[in-house]
Amino acid sequence: MCMTYLTCRLDRYSVYRCLCSSYTYVYLNTCLSDNNLIASVSTDSLIATNFIFVKLNSSVQVTVTYNVSWTSHLNPTDRGYNMTSSRDVYAAPLTPATDYTFIITTILPADNYYQTKSYQNSYNMATRRLYDNACSTTSQCDERLECVNGKCGCQSHSFYNTATQTCQNSLSHGQTCSPSVPRMCQAHLTCRLDRYSSYRCLCSTIAHLYLGSCLLDSNLIVYDSSDSVVEPKFMYLKMNNSAQVSVMYNVSWISVLNASDRGYNTTSSRDVYLSPLTPATEYNITIASTLPSDSYYFVKFIRNTILKATKSSYGYLCTMTILCEKGLDCVNGLCGCLSDFYYNEPSKSCQKKLHYGYDCNATKECQDSLSCTGGRCKCLTGQYYHTNNRSCYSFKLYGMQCDATIRDMCKNPDFVCTSDAHGLSRCLCSFNTFYDGFTCSQNLVSEMELSINQVNLTFHKAFGLRSFNLSWSATGNSHDYGSQFINGNLISIQKLTPGQQYSFTVATSLTSESEYENNKTLQSMFSLVTYPASPGKLWLERSQLNKSPYILKFNQSQGVVNSYQVTIKTVNLMHEVIIRRVTNPEVITFDLYPNTQYIYEIIAYNMLGNQSAATTGNFMITAADDDEGTSGKDFFNTLNCPGQHWLGHCTGCLCNYINCLFKDSPT
């Protein structure tokens, strides 16, 4: 008869009606479980020392009333009650540091059909604890406090003000304080008497203030640096410490053996000069770092004593190495160097003697048996360096036994250490060279006599050299060549072209009866240029001697000529000498005078500059007819070279016509 979610039962007036079951309530024509009416305490509840602001959790959809009561666990009379339709319930007044039982009753009022319903739930809650109350966790203390060493106190960087019963920030440096109040000063400070007997927040007695921080006084202790300079008669101390503040350093010193040998110095620098001192003497040096007084602190002295000794110089008496200058050793009672070291004057220290091949300035810097030659440690002239024995020995000469693993044992650059015909390592000549009785030579020709068309060659008579194959060819002329076998050491090559360059090749073999392991083929190549032949006389029939320009033609030399030099001068030397260097057998010039007798000299040159015998003679310049000849200057003007002027005798090219130099001239 009733809808599926309803039950036919008696209402509050004993009338059967379609209603929600006895374990549910109606909301918007829906039956909801009575469990929704049970309220719980939220974790967002605010707990203080004398009240609790309870926040209730409930999923009820209808309007209900909450009846909240509380009772102290220790005092039944410490109780209270509050009724509200809100889910936020204020419970007060409460006793600090007290456990309470809270009973929360949810009441659903009666209506036309249903009777009143109520549901209860209980919770234990404790108020927070006051300053100095015992605690085990910070959550037990007032929200402004924390649990410190088992008691509720102020948070770090703060202290509890008993007058205001509040926590305040810890005091900074110099503020007035009370030593009985914990944490009244900031963590790095201590509440103690200042220099005027007032309690203030200050650094401890073993610390000093720097930029608001307390630094340990041990930072002011001075230590000797390894960079300090110690000499026989003074010390230049470079002091190390980690001080951040400005301090004065009072430095005093006293001799260990002589109390009257003492001194004193005051400085604000970490570099201090101690002088005069006695050489080879130990001193007790006391360095007091002085921190001056200020508005709060007394003056402080932080002392440290070190033991240092002055040094003895090179060559001075000593009893131990520590008494010598840095880098020296006490050797046989004197400050000096060990046997494998030398004394370096600029650095005043002992340096390791240099090995073979190292750069040097003096022989004393090199190891024994070496000499400083050309800025390098080397053996003396005529010696080689034995890398195994680390010593110098005289060069091995030709034919002497040697060790191929030792560099330069044989006399350089003549010989090499190689196997001979008997399998022994000996100093012999290298590939393609032979021993000529003095050195290793590659040139098989010992002497050469050269002329215009002939060369006489003399070959070496070295042991094992008996015959030679000789061949030659002219450079640039494939038809001029020859060859010859010589069983001896002399040969004359004739019918060569004058002034010609020839390439010669000489080949031979050292026989097996020589010192070498195998027959040795030798070959040497060289070139030569024969002397030039004398040029011919002036060819008068083909020369132009009666008008300018004058053209002198002569017969060329036989063979090859690189150039000719023609010298022309008057018989009486009244005019200047004319010298021309030409490649062809003719000379063109404007610088001759009519009706004048001249003498000439012609010399031929080969490519090496060797000259021939001179050819000489004379000729006559005749007077030219006016209609047949022109002057040198008129002839130049006919060449149509604009902007240039004739300057008399010259060399070069004139408008590609004659060999003559012309220049711009103001005349």
Length of the chain, please? Answer: 667
The amino acid occupying position 477 is: N
The helix (run of H) or strand (run of E) holding residue 91 is strand 88-91
Residues 6+ apart with CB under 8 A from 644: 662, 663, 664, 665
Whole-number Å distance between alpha carbons of 447 and 489: 10
Whole-number Å distance between alpha carbons of 4 and 594: 162
pLDDT number for residue 639: 43
Q: Are residues 402 and 417 in contact, defined by beta-carbon separation less than 8 angstroms?
A: yes
Whole-number Å distance between alpha carbons of 274 and 292: 24
Tokens of 504: 């010669």
The amino acid occupying position 380 is: L
**CA quadruple 69, 75, 76, 77: dihedral sign:** negative
Residue 646 pLDDT > 50:
no
Per the DSSP assignment, residues forming a β-bridge with 248 are 290
Tokens of 125: 């809650």
Residues 6+ apart with CB under 8 A from 654: 636, 639, 641, 660, 661, 662
513-528 tens-digit pLDDT = 557 766 778 889 999 9
What is the DSSP-derived secondary structure letter of residue 355?
A: P
Average pLDDT score over residue span 181-188: 90
pLDDT number for residue 354: 92
Residues 6+ apart with CB under 8 A from 24: 31, 32, 33, 34
Residue 530 pLDDT > 90:
yes
> Environment class of residue 10 by beta-carbon count within 10 Å: exposed (0-12), middle (13-18) or buried (19+)?
exposed
Average pLDDT score over residue span 337-361: 88
Average pLDDT score over residue span 123-151: 90
Tokens of 428: 């012999």
286-303 tens-digit pLDDT = 999 999 999 999 999 999
What is the DSSP-derived secondary structure letter of residue 318?
A: -
What's the alpha-carbon Rg for the chain, to the nearest Å? 63
How are the residues of the chain apportioned to helix, strand and coil, as percentages rounded to the nearest 5? Answer: 5, 45, 50
Is pLDDT larger for residue 557 or for residue 442?
557
Whole-number Å distance between alpha carbons of 38 and 295: 69
Per the DSSP assignment, residues forming a β-bridge with 459 are 445
For residue 166, give the nearest of 185, 137, 142 by alpha carbon: 142
Per the DSSP assignment, residues forming a β-bridge with 582 are 564
CA dihedral 92, 150, 73, 87 (to 10 degrees): 40
CB atoms < 10 A from the CB of 502, how many?
Answer: 21
The model's confidence at residue 628, banded by pLDDT at 50, 70 and 90, is very low
Tokens of 300: 């402080």
What domains does the chain contain, in order, with CATH numbers?
A: 1-127 (2.60.40.10), 216-309 (2.60.40.10), 431-529 (2.60.40.10), 537-621 (2.60.40.10)
Whole-number Å distance between alpha carbons of 128 and 145: 10
CA dihedral 198, 204, 207, 208 (to 10 degrees): -30
The model's confidence at residue 418, banded by pLDDT at 50, 70 and 90, is confident
Whole-number Å distance between alpha carbons of 205 and 298: 10
The model's confidence at residue 368, banded by pLDDT at 50, 70 and 90, is confident
Q: Which of 298-312, 334-348, 407-421 is predicted with the least confidence, judged by mean pLDDT? A: 407-421
pTM of this prediction? 0.42
CB atoms < 10 A from the CB of 154, how many?
Answer: 24
Per the DSSP assignment, residues forming a β-bridge with 493 are 455
Could you give the 3-state DSSP secondary structure of residue 497? coil
Could you give the 3-state DSSP secondary structure of residue 636? helix
Q: Are residues 598 and 568 in contact, defined by beta-carbon separation less than 8 angstroms?
A: yes
